């Protein structure tokens, strides 16, 4: 089983696998419930990707028991398929949902390309992609309707983290001035974005670095913000950031002593200055890192 998201009430969504089929799952108050049980045939899949604070779940199924496939939301356990950009197409996937019920993901458009997609108030919208790329994918959406994901040409060397905001498509770039690949995984209601950037995208075994895009949407390597006085300074490698909440807490994974570990970054207060710093305590072993903040 895998858990992919949690809301403020502690409802967790994800998947389990019974050896031949993958089922969309929900966990609440330590009780497990199946949103979609795949009984059709071996290899069928369903997955719950996100849940909002009203308990509405977004995800997908590739072959449901009623013959339909694609992006889906579950409300109180009731399933609703979302229409694709192209009529009759099953090539859709829901990955994020906000508290307004807006859903982000991807769908196959009229030209046969998979594009980041927004479902809002009964309408489906092709969000497009950064110029120079053929495809895009939306990962998450916040309550302001900001969507994050990536634009790509279908391979690692051509993939850039992307923000869709107020009708604009913003290339978030990467740690190497846009020369390497990057991915945006989550955005909070303050507009802070986390993800990762590959060091050498021409090498599929290349390392990645956890990244945050904040005030001016410039990619910042979270690893470079580790406090020099921390015992693990220079010893921990933060490979990818996967989630950020409205408290500024960040989760992801990295390496310490050659072993892969999950991390949790917890913000703590600092002394206010004209250009103050907010510190983050890393849950691997108390690593403290700080992030530059712009005064309002």
Q: Note the CATH architecture for domain 2-228.
A: 6 Propeller (2.120)
For residue 65, pLDDT over 50 is answered with yes
Phi-psi region of 30 (alpha: psi -120 to 50; beta: other; left: phi over 0): left
pLDDT bin (cut points 50, 70, 90) of residue 130 is very high
Strand partners, 151: 136, 160
166: left (phi over 0), alpha (psi -120 to 50) or beta: left
CB-based contacts of 131, cutoff 8 Å, min separation 6: none
> What pTM does this model have?
0.84
Read off the DSSP letter of residue 154. S
For residues 92-116, give the mean pLDDT: 92
Give the domain ranges of the chain.
2-228
Q: pLDDT above 90 covers what percent of the chain?
A: 38
Q: How far apart are CA 20 and CA 39, in angstroms?
A: 10
pLDDT of the residue at 285 = 39
Which residue from 258, 245, 255, 259 is spatially nearest to 287, judged by alpha carbons? Answer: 255
Q: Residue 124 pLDDT > 90, yes or no? A: yes
Which residue in this structure is represented by tokens 């949902």? 97
- State how far the Cα of 211 lies from the Cα of 214, in Å rounded to an integer: 10
Is residue 259 pLDDT above 60, yes or no?
yes
């Amino acid at each position: 089983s895998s858990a992919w998201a949690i809301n403020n009430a502690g409802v967790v969504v994800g998947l389990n696998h019974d050896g031949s089929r993958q089922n969309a799952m929900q966990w609440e108050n330590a009780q497990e419930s199946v949103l979609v049980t795949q009984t059709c045939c071996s290899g069928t899949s369903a997955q719950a990707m996100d849940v909002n604070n009203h308990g509405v779940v977004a995800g997908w199924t590739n072959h449901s028991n009623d013959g339909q496939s694609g992006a889906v939301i579950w409300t109180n356990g009731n399933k609703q398929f979302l229409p694709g950009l192209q009529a009759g197409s099953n090539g859709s996937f829901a990955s994020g949902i906000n508290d307004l019920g807006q859903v982000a993901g991807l769908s196959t458009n009229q030209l046969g390309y998979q594009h980041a997609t927004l479902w809002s108030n009964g309408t489906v919208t092709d969000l497009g992609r950064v110029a120079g790329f053929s495809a895009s994918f939306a990962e998450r959406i916040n309550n302001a309707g900001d969507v994050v994901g990536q634009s790509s040409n279908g391979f690692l060397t051509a993939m850039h983290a992307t923000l869709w905001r107020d009708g604009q498509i913003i290339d978030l770039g990467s740690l190497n001035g846009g020369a390497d690949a990057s991915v945006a995984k989550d955005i909070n209601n303050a507009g802070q974005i986390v993800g990762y950037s590959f060091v050498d995208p021409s090498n599929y075994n290349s390392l990645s670095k956890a990244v945050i895009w904040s005030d001016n949407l410039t990619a910042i390597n979270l690893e470079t913000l580790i406090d020099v006085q921390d015992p693990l300074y220079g010893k921990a490698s933060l490979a990818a950031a996967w989630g950020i909440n409205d408290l500024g807490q960040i989760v992801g994974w990295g390496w310490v002593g050659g072993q892969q570990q999950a991390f949790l970054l917890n913000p703590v207060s600092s002394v206010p200055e004209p250009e103050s710093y907010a510190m983050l305590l890393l849950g691997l072993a108390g690593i403290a890192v700080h992030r530059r903040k712009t005064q309002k």
